[in-house]
């Protein structure tokens, strides 16, 4: 290997390590995965509409997952997970998750709004507060420690 090739390999390694440390490569990979899932979802919807076939992405879910996603508890679980991903700004993960569980882009927001209004949770909190899933979990843990309330 000549000096130029060696220098280029060293530079490539250095750039790759630096981008990896800064999280740039992870973000690019996540964005690529999200774009692939969006393209598949788009094609699935065309096929579903034109040919009446079920979406291929949901077809990969097992029957227990399909049943759970169809139940009120499963829809709430999906909504809480989506709200967490949105809160954590894991937008690419959210873009992959929604088609995998066959949920429409913003359908989880209505589910969350209904749950919040029924149970006294505030969805219009400031940016410093945690996700609603954390509030629900903390409420459960408090009840578990002191069921006398």
CB 59 within 8 A of CB 43: no
Cα 92 to Cα 17, 26, 30, 123, 136, distances in angstroms: 22, 11, 6, 22, 24
10-residue averages of pLDDT along the chain (149 residues): 88 89 85 80 74 58 80 92 94 84 83 90 76 90 71
Query: C-alpha 106: how far from its chain's center?
Result: 12
User: Could you tell me the CATH number of the domain that includes residue 46?
Assistant: 1.20.960.40
**CA–CA separation, 19 and 51 (whole Å):** 44
Question: Which stretch of DSSP H or E encloses residue 9?
Answer: helix 3-21
pLDDT at 131: 92
CB 34 within 8 A of CB 25: no
When divided into structural domains, the chain yields a total of 1
């Amino acid at each position: 290997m000549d000096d130029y090739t060696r220098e280029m390999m060293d530079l490539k390694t250095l750039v790759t390590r630096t981008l990896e440390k800064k999280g740039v490569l992870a973000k690019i990979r996540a964005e690529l995965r999200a774009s692939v899932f969006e393209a598949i979802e788009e094609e699935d919807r065309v096929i579903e509409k034109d040919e009446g076939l079920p979406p291929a992405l949901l077809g990969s879910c097992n029957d227990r997952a399909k049943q759970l996603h169809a139940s009120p508890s499963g829809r709430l679980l999906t909504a809480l997970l989506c709200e967490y991903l949105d809160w954590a700004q894991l937008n690419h993960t959210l873009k992959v998750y929604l088609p995998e569980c066959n949920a429409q882009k913003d359908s989880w927001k209505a589910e969350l709004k209904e749950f919040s209004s029924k149970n006294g949770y505030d969805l219009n909190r400031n940016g410093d507060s945690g996700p609603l899933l954390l509030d629900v979990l903390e409420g459960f843990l408090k009840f578990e420690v002191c069921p006398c309330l």
